[in-house]
């Protein structure tokens, strides 16, 4: 049986999440497997890899053939480096203590690179956020300046209109004072003489 170390896809559409499994090479990709030895999430930066180191090393030493992707993942986790160091121990080239020291030095260097990558990502995100905030503040300042200019223009128009109204009212008052008042005299009609009417009445009676 050709044993393979490969990825088994899980997760939603456009959000892949993989299990690292030991399976028969003739089995379908997402079918039955012998053992699950880890997970791989490519959506994070850097990618999140969780591997059972001892079981992965066991299967590599027993001749399991990894896929290209899982080979790169196992190399990142140091599985193939430990396999190489164990081969040196078996040949008598180095002691187990030397192999452990080399592996720990490699692991510290790897961890420092990962932490630097994470720090660079955080710094980059902060820089981009600062740029966005600066751009937004500039836009807000320009908008507030336009609004202030608009209000100032409207206030100037209102002040000019008020001045014009005051000038017109002043002119009207001055014109009223200069125009003389026209006095109309009412003539009384002369009253009819009642004695004449009475004399005519007396003659008639005679």
**Could you read off the pLDDT of 78-106 as tens digits, one per residue?**
999 999 999 999 888 889 899 999 999 99
Q: What is the mean pLDDT of the chain?
A: 83
Mean pLDDT in residue range 181-186: 52
| Beta carbons of 59 and 37 less than 8 angstroms apart | yes
The dihedral built from the CA positions of residue 172, 173, 174 and 177, taken in this order, carries a sign that is positive
**137 within a domain of the structure (yes/no):** no
Q: Give residue 177's pLDDT.
A: 61
Mean pLDDT in residue range 105-122: 88
**200 within a domain of the structure (yes/no):** no
Mean pLDDT in residue range 173-191: 57
Q: How many domains does the chain have?
A: 1
Which residue range(s) make up the domain with 77? 3-94
**146 within a domain of the structure (yes/no):** no
**109 within a domain of the structure (yes/no):** no
**Residue 126 Cα to chain centre, angstroms:** 13
CA angle 130, 135, 139 (to 5 degrees): 145
pTM, to two decimals: 0.59
CA separation (Å) from 163 to 39, 117, 132, 147, 160? 80, 68, 46, 24, 5
**7 within a domain of the structure (yes/no):** yes
Give the Cα separation of 60 and 71 in Å (integer). Answer: 10
**52 within a domain of the structure (yes/no):** yes
Decide if pLDDT at 199 tops 70: no
Domain of 15: which CATH number?
A: 3.30.1320.10
**80 within a domain of the structure (yes/no):** yes
């Amino acid at each position: 049986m050709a044993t393979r170390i490969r990825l088994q896809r899980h997760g939603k559409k456009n959000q892949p999440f993989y299990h690292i499994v030991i399976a028969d090479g003739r089995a379908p990709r997402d079918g039955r497997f012998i053992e699950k030895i880890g997970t791989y999430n490519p959506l994070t930066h850097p990618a999140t890899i969780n591997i059972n180191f001892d079981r992965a090393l066991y299967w590599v030493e027993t001749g399991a053939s990894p896929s290209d992707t899982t080979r790169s993942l196992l190399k990142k986790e140091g599985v193939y480096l430990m396999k190489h160091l164990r081969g040196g121990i078996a040949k008598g080239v180095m002691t187990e203590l030397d192999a452990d020291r080399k592996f720990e030095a490699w692991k510290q260097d790897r961890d420092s690179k990962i932490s630097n990558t994470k720090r660079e990502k955080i710094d980059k995100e902060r820089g981009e956020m600062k740029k966005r905030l600066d751009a937004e503040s500039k836009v807000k300042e320009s908008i507030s300046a336009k609004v202030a200019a608009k209000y100032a223009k409207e206030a100037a128009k209102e002040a000019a209109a008020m001045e014009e109204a005051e000038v017109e009212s002043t002119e009207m008052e001055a014109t009223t004072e200069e125009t003389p008042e026209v006095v109309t005299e009412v003539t009384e009609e002369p009253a009819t003489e009642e004695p004449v009417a009475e004399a005519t009445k007396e003659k008639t009676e005679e």
